[in-house]
Structure 1
Amino acid sequence: MATHVRHPIWLRQVRPAGARTFASLYTMESFARATVSSVIPIQAYEILQSEQAVSILYTIVSLLGLSVTLFMPMLIGRFARRWVYTAGACLLAVGSLFFVTDTLAGQALGMLCRVMGASALSITLNLYIMDHIRKTEFIRSESLRLAWSTFAWTGGPTLGILLYTKYGIYAAHGAVAVFALILLALFWYYRLSDNQMIAAGKSRALNPITNISRFIAQPRLRLAWLIAFGRNCYWTTFFVYGPLFMVIAGEGEVAGGLLISAGNALLFTAIFWGRAGKRFGTRGTIAVAFAAMAVTLFAAGWVSTTAPLITGALLLCGALFAIAIDALGSTVFMRSVHPYERSQMAAVYRTYLDFSELTPPMIYSIVLAFFGLGSVFVTLGLLMAGCAAVSWRYVPKSM
C-alpha cells in the first residue's frame, strides 16, 4: 500500500525504556557535568582571587538559574520534552565555549548555561522515569542510576583537573562538549519521545506562582523537597569548597580533584543503600544518614586546616552517607506526586537544586567574613542535623 511505512530494522530493535535506559543517559550526562566539576570553582578562584567572591558569583548564577527552572513546565508544554532535553544537552556544550574565554563574564555565562542545561535535563529525565518505571521499582531504578554514574563522577573530576593542568582550559572544557554530544546522540537513539504514554500525559502548564502554591499545599511534597535540598547542600559544599579547601590548605589542585573523585567513587554503594532502605525502611535510613553527615561535618569544621587530610577524610565519610539519601530521597517525591501534575510539580521540586546552589554560598559568604573556612562545614552540619530530625518525624514508616 502507498500509505504503508516500513521503518528501518534498527529502530525496531531499540528495547522499551527501563532502568538501564535511564541509568545510561544519566551516566553520560554525569560525564558531561563531572569532568569540570572541580575545575570550575578553581577557575573562578583564579579569576576572582577570593573565596568570598566565588561564593557571591555562585549565588548570582543560582538566582538566575532558579527563574529558568520555574518556567520549565511552560517550555515543556510548548516545545515538548524531547526538545527541552535536547536544549539541555546543547547548553552544556555551549557553556564550554564561554568558559574557555577565561574572563569573568565568560565564567558567569558558562556557569549559567551549565545550570540551565542541568535543570532541563533533570526535569525531563525525571518525567520520563515516572512514566516508564513502576512506583515499586523506584528505589531499584534510582540505585542503579547512581551506581552506574559512579564511573563518571569518579573519573570525571580527576580527568578534568589533569586536562586543565597539563593541556590547558581548551582540553578540559572541550571534553565536556564531546560528552554532551554523545549524550544527545544516545537520547535520540532511545527515541523516548515516541512513547505514547508520554504524549498522552501532557497537560496545560500553569503559571509558576500557581504551581508553587499547589506544591506547598501538599505536605509530602514539601518534605520531599527538604530532603533533596539538604542532601544537595552537602554536595554543593563538597564540590565547591572541597577543592577550594585543598588549594587554600596548601595541598594543591590535584588533591582537590582527587578528593572529589574519591567521594564520587562511593556512588557504587547506592545499590547497598537501596537494599538497606528496603530492609530497615526509608525513614530510618534517611534520618540516620543525615545525622551521620552532621557529625562528620562538625568534626571537619573542628579539625579544618590544622590537618587537611583528616578533614578531607571526614568529608568523604559524609559523602558516603549523602549517597544513601541520593538513593532513597527522590522516592519520597516520586511516590507522592499525582500523575496529572507531574510536569508542574517536578519543576517546583527541581528548585531544590537551585536553592541548594544558591543558599549555601550566600550564607557562607557572610560566615566567611567573620570566621575561617572550617565554619562552612559547621554551618552545613547544623542544617544536616535539622534535616535528620524532620525526616525522622515526618517521613511515613510505610514509605
Structure 2
Amino acid sequence: MSTHVRHPIWLPALRPADARTFASLYAVESFARATISSVIPIQAYEILHNERIVSILYTIVSLMGLSVTLFMPMLIRRFARRWVYTAGCVLLAIGSAFFVTHTLPGQIAGMLCRVMGASALSITLNLYIMDHIRKTDFMQAESLRMAWSMFAWTGGPTLGIFLYTHFGNYAAHGAVVVFAFALLCLFWFYRLSDNQSIRPGKSRPANPLANIGRFVKQPRLRLAWLIAFGRSCFWTTFFVYGPLFMVITGEGKLAGGLLVSAGNALLFVAIFWGRAGRRFGGRRVMTFAYFAMAAMLFAAGGIGEAAPLLTGALLLCGALFTIALDALGSTAFMRSVRSYEKAQMAAVYRTYLDFSELTPPLVYSVVLTFFGLGSVFVTLGILAAFCGFVTWRYLPKAF
C-alpha cells in the first residue's frame, strides 16, 4: 500500500493572518462601498426632488437594517462566519442590481441590501481581527486598516460620480459588482479560520434583546459605543449632506464627489493619529479630536450657504480630526469586550453604525423644517462636543 500523499504546494505557503491581511480586505470592501457613496444620495434626490424626504428615506432604511444587525450573531452561529461574510459580498452586488432600476422601490431595496451587506462584513471582520490580532497591537492594526482604505475612499466617490454622470447607472453600479466579486475571491484566498467558540451548531442563541441588556450593563462598552457613534454620525452627514450641499448651492455634482474624495484622501493620516495615540494616550487624542471637530462644524454651520467653498473646507478640517477617532475609537471596544461573548457584543456594538445612519437624518428632517442647510452642521457640532466631554470624563487614562 502506498504511503505517499501528494499535497498542494501552495496551501502551506500562505502566511498567517496579520494586520495587513485585514487591511487589504477592508480596502477592497471600501472600494465596493465608496464607489457609490456619493451617487446614492444624489440618485435619491433625483427621484424624490426634496432633501427632507431624502432624510426620511435614509431613516427608514437604517431602521430596517438595524434589526438585521441585532440578529447577526444568530446567523453566525448557524452558518459560520465565512458564509456570513460571503453573504455580505453578495448583498453588495445584489444592491447594485436594484439601484440601476432608478425607481423608488429599487432605491429602497438597493439601500437595504447595502446596509445588510455592510453589517455582515463589518461584524465578521471585527471578529476575525479580535481573534488574530493581539490586544496590544489593536491601535496599530486599526490605524493601518484606515490608512489602506484611503485609496478607496479617495478615488471611489469621484469615480462613482464620473461613471454616473458620463456613462449612467449601469457603469457606476457595475463597478460595485466587480469590487464585491474581487473581495469575495480575496477572502476565500486567505482562508481565515473561524473561532471554535463561535462555531455553527444546533443550540439556540441568546435573544438579541438579552445581548443588548448585557451590553448596556457594561459601562466601558457603552462608552465605546458612544465614541463610535459620534464619529460615524460625522461621516454619515459628510457623505450625504456634503454632496447635497454642493448641489443645492450650485457648485454641482462633481464638486460633491470631489468634496467626499478630498475628505477621504486624509485617511492616510490615520497612521500618524495611531502613533499619536500610542505616545500621548488614546484618551487625550480622542478628546482633542472631538472638540476640534465640533469647532469646525460650528464654523461651517455659521457660514453655511453664504460661502459654499469655505464651508466645504471647514468640513474637510472636521474630517481630519474625525480620522483620529476612526484610527483609535474601536480599540475602546476591542480592549473591553469579554472573549466568550465577542460575537454577541460585536453585533450590539455594530449598531452604532445603524443608529448613526438612522438618527442624523431623522433629527435633520426636523431641523431642516425650521432652519437652513447649515443648521445640519451646527446640530452635529453639538453632538461632537458632548462626545468629547464624555470621552474626557469617563474613558480611563490607560487608553
TM-score range, shorter chain: over 0.9
Mapped to 2, the partners of 1:6 and 1:359 lie a distance apart of 57
Counterpart for residue 10 of structure 1: 10
Give the 3-state SS of the residue equivalent to 1:28 in structure 2: helix
Mapped to 1, the partners of 2:388 and 2:254 lie a distance apart of 33
The alpha-carbon deviation at position 9 of structure 1 amounts to: 1.4
The alpha-carbon deviation at position 3 of structure 1 amounts to: 9.2
Mapped to 2, the partners of 1:113 and 1:99 lie a distance apart of 10
1:384-399 correspondence runs (5 A): 384-399=384-399
Give the 3-state SS of the residue equivalent to 2:337 in structure 1: coil
Residue by residue, what CA displacement relative to the aligned partner does 1:200-219 show, whole Å, maximum 9, x if unpaired?
Answer: 45486311011000000000
Mapped to 1, the partners of 2:23 and 2:384 lie a distance apart of 28
Amino acid paired to 2:61: V
Give the direction of change, closer, same or farther, for the CA distance of 1:3–1:61 in structure 2 (3 Å limit): farther
1:308-387 correspondence runs (5 A): 308-387=308-387
1:105-184 correspondence runs (5 A): 105-184=105-184
The alpha-carbon deviation at position 14 of structure 1 amounts to: 1.3
Residue by residue, what CA displacement relative to the aligned partner does 1:116-150 show, whole Å, maximum 9, x if unpaired?
Answer: 00000000000000000000000000010000010
Amino acid paired to 1:175: A
* Residue 230 (structure 2) pairs with residue 230 (structure 1): yes
Amino acid paired to 1:20: R
Give the 3-state SS of the residue equivalent to 1:286 in structure 2: helix
Counterpart for residue 34 of structure 1: 34
Amino acid paired to 2:138: F
Mapped to 1, the partners of 2:165 and 2:87 lie a distance apart of 30
* Residue 246 (structure 2) pairs with residue 246 (structure 1): yes
Residue by residue, what CA displacement relative to the aligned partner does 1:226-253 show, whole Å, maximum 9, x if unpaired?
Answer: 0000000000000000000000010000
The alpha-carbon deviation at position 7 of structure 1 amounts to: 3.6
Counterpart for residue 294 of structure 2: 294
Amino acid paired to 2:170: Y
Mapped to 2, the partners of 1:244 and 1:341 lie a distance apart of 40
The alpha-carbon deviation at position 266 of structure 1 amounts to: 0.2
Give the 3-state SS of the residue equivalent to 2:10 in structure 1: helix
Amino acid paired to 2:322: A
Mapped to 2, the partners of 1:387 and 1:282 lie a distance apart of 14
Mapped to 1, the partners of 2:306 and 2:148 lie a distance apart of 36
Counterpart for residue 96 of structure 1: 96
The alpha-carbon deviation at position 13 of structure 1 amounts to: 1.7
Give the direction of change, closer, same or farther, for the CA distance of 1:11–1:358 in structure 2 (3 Å limit): same
Conserved in 1, the CA contact under 8 Å of 2:80 and 2:198? no
Could you list the runs of 5+ residues in structure 2 that have no partner in the other structure?
none
Mapped to 1, the partners of 2:311 and 2:56 lie a distance apart of 24
Could you list the runs of 5+ residues in structure 1 that have no partner in the other structure?
none
Mapped to 2, the partners of 1:182 and 1:2 lie a distance apart of 40
Give the direction of change, closer, same or farther, for the CA distance of 1:283–1:9 in structure 2 (3 Å limit): same
Mapped to 2, the partners of 1:13 and 1:245 lie a distance apart of 51
Give the 3-state SS of the residue equivalent to 2:370 in structure 1: coil
Conserved in 1, the CA contact under 8 Å of 2:96 and 2:110? yes
Give the 3-state SS of the residue equivalent to 2:243 in structure 1: helix
The alpha-carbon deviation at position 10 of structure 1 amounts to: 1.6
Mapped to 2, the partners of 1:303 and 1:358 lie a distance apart of 26
In the superposition, the TM-score normalised over structure 2's length comes to 0.98
The alpha-carbon deviation at position 5 of structure 1 amounts to: 6.0
Counterpart for residue 196 of structure 2: 199
Mapped to 2, the partners of 1:96 and 1:108 lie a distance apart of 11
Mapped to 2, the partners of 1:40 and 1:334 lie a distance apart of 31
Amino acid paired to 2:124: T
Mapped to 2, the partners of 1:162 and 1:256 lie a distance apart of 11
Give the 3-state SS of the residue equivalent to 1:131 in structure 2: helix
Counterpart for residue 265 of structure 2: 265
Mapped to 1, the partners of 2:73 and 2:79 lie a distance apart of 10
The alpha-carbon deviation at position 6 of structure 1 amounts to: 4.1
RMSD: 1.2
The alpha-carbon deviation at position 11 of structure 1 amounts to: 1.6
Residue by residue, what CA displacement relative to the aligned partner does 1:178-204 show, whole Å, maximum 9, x if unpaired?
Answer: 0000000000000003x5xx1245486
Mapped to 2, the partners of 1:141 and 1:36 lie a distance apart of 26
Q: Which stretch shifts more, 75-84 or 11-20?
A: 11-20
Amino acid paired to 2:140: R
Mapped to 1, the partners of 2:127 and 2:3 lie a distance apart of 33
Residue by residue, what CA displacement relative to the aligned partner does 1:260-314 show, whole Å, maximum 9, x if unpaired?
Answer: 0000000000000000001111111001100001000000000001000000000
Mapped to 1, the partners of 2:18 and 2:92 lie a distance apart of 25
Mapped to 2, the partners of 1:237 and 1:312 lie a distance apart of 12
